[in-house]
């Protein structure tokens, strides 16, 4: 029998997180209620924590990268049963809007209303679209903290597919020493490319080399010159920070025919100045990559289940739900990579 109330971490104002007692939701038709065991911090939460987000306004329940156990299922759900360990993505496409019908399900027009949040809580209710498309039984032996990378890795899989790295190509990853960048490094290496990481913290740059970076460069005024000294110019650049000035510098790292992938989200209304002479005469390609698709979610699950991607070093610490405010402060400080939130209930599982 489900309890009447649970605890949930809520962003009530910029840089202010509170843990509230709230009613436990009950699943309706097609829905699944999950008892959360592990949830990870994410850059999307950090942006909202610092200055707000166009899609998430306080009071906003935090958390969307999670693993847990099925606590209850709604009418018509047959894919999972109570007691099974599961993992899910944070959204699923509607399938009916023009982008979905064109196969661009990551650009679903109903995405804002279909996005899931609230995994920093004892229980989380999954919507019918997520249950139908992006909810999976967890394979025995795979740790919770590994499976919780399902959604961010799915986004990186989409980014790598959009970039299309080829064996032997040199790819510079700006902001590549954070969790997302370190996932990019591994997928680029698996594709046969040579990742060169630009980042700020020496210990993270060392980790990037351990995970497959061919070379690392300290971010700063001399980073373009240093990259040129190391490799000349790049076949492609992945820009993860979303900082306009770094996107502009990325163009200067490309050789003729090079590609720039703008992966990091920028502030609303942000603009950049590009050297159109280079874009035109050197046939540079500039494109974005956003979110994930059911296909990249499945690819992500396969990579994590097979142990093909290393994620354990990307989690710096594990804290209880009641310490959610502390977790966000530490995450904001930049001294940690991801942090794991452990709500009450069952301990972290591997089976």
Q: Do 81 and 210 fall within a single domain? A: no
pLDDT reported for residue 350: 46
Which residue, 342, 324, 317, 297, is CA-closest to 61? 324
Flag whether 76 is in a domain: yes
Flag whether 301 is in a domain: no
Q: Do 256 and 323 fall within a single domain? A: no
Flag whether 269 is in a domain: yes
CATH code where residue 283 lies: 3.40.50.720
Flag whether 306 is in a domain: no
pLDDT reported for residue 351: 40
pLDDT reported for residue 53: 65
Q: Do 162 and 140 fall within a single domain? A: no
Q: Do 101 and 165 fall within a single domain? A: no
Q: Do 10 and 145 fall within a single domain? A: yes
Flag whether 304 is in a domain: no
The number of folded domains in the chain is 2
Domain of residue 138: give its range: 5-149+311-342
**pLDDT tens, N- to C-terminus, the chain (351 residues):** 899 999 999 999 999 999 999 999 999 999 999 999 999 999 888 888 887 666 667 789 999 999 999 999 999 999 999 999 999 999 999 999 999 999 999 999 999 999 999 999 999 999 999 999 999 999 999 999 999 999 999 999 999 999 999 999 999 999 999 999 999 999 999 999 999 999 999 999 999 999 999 999 999 999 999 999 999 999 999 999 999 999 999 999 999 999 999 999 988 889 999 999 999 999 999 999 999 999 999 999 999 999 999 999 999 999 999 999 999 999 999 899 999 999 964 445 444
Flag whether 297 is in a domain: no
pLDDT tens by residue, 61-87 = 999 999 999 999 999 999 999 999 999
pLDDT tens by residue, 280-312 = 999 999 999 999 999 999 999 999 999 999 999
pLDDT reported for residue 54: 67
CATH code where residue 100 lies: 3.90.180.10
pTM, whole model, 2 decimals? 0.95
What are the DSSP calls for 247-284, one per residue?
A: HHHHHTTEEEEEEEEE-SPPPTT------HHHHHHTT-
Q: Do 169 and 244 fall within a single domain? A: yes
Contact 124, 341 (CB under 8 A): no
Flag whether 350 is in a domain: no
Q: Do 215 and 186 fall within a single domain? A: yes
Segments in 164-239 forming alpha helices (H)? 179-190, 202-210, 223-231
pLDDT reported for residue 142: 97
Flag whether 349 is in a domain: no
Q: Do 12 and 137 fall within a single domain? A: yes
Contact 64, 89 (CB under 8 A): no
Q: Do 11 and 111 fall within a single domain? A: yes
Q: How far apart are CA 212 and CA 112, in angstroms?
A: 35
Q: Do 144 and 9 fall within a single domain? A: yes
Q: Do 168 and 78 fall within a single domain? A: no
Q: Do 71 and 135 fall within a single domain? A: yes
**Who contacts 96 (Cβ-Cβ below 8 Å, separation ≥6)?**
none
């Amino acid at each position: 029998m489900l309890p009447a109330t649970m605890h949930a971490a809520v962003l009530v104002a910029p840089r202010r997180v509170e843990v509230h007692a709230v009613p436990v939701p009950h699943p309706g038709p097609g829905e699944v209620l999950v008892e959360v065991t592990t949830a990870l911090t994410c850059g999307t939460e950090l942006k909202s924590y610092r200055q707000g987000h166009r899609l998430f306004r306080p009071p906003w329940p935090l958390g969307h990268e999670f693993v847990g156990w099925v606590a209850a299922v709604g009418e018509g759900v047959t894919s999972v049963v109570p007691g099974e360990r599961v993992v899910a993505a944070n959204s699923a496409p509607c399938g009916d809007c023009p982008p979905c019908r064109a196969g661009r399900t990551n650009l679903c027009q109903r995405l804002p209303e279909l996005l899931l949040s609230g995994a920093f809580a004892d229980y989380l209710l999954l919507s019918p679209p997520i249950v139908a498309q992006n909810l999976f039984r967890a394979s025995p032996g795979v740790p919770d903290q590994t499976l919780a990378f399902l959604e961010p890795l799915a986004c990186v899989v989409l980014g790598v597919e959009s970039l299309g790295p080829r064996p032997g190509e040199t790819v510079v990853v700006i902001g590549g020493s954070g969790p997302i960048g370190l996932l990019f490094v591994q997928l680029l290496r698996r594709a046969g490319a040579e990742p060169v990481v630009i980042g700020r913290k020496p210990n993270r740059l060392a980790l990037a080399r351990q995970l497959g970076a061919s070379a690392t460069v300290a971010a700063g005024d001399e980073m373009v010159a240093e990259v040129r000294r190391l490799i000349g110019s790049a076949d492609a650049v992945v820009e993860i920070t979303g900082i306009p000035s770094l996107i502009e510098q990325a163009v200067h790292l490309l050789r003729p025919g090079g590609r720039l992938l703008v992966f990091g989200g920028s502030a609303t209304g942000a603009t950049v100045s590009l050297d159109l002479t280079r874009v035109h005469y050197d046939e540079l390609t500039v494109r974005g990559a956003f979110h994930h698709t059911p296909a990249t979610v499945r690819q992500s699950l396969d990579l994590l289940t097979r142990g093909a991607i290393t994620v354990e070093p990307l989690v710096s610490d594990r804290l209880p739900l009641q310490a959610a405010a502390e977790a966000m402060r530490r995450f904001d400080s930049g001294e940690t990579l991801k942090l794991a939130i452990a709500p009450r209930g069952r301990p972290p599982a591997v089976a």
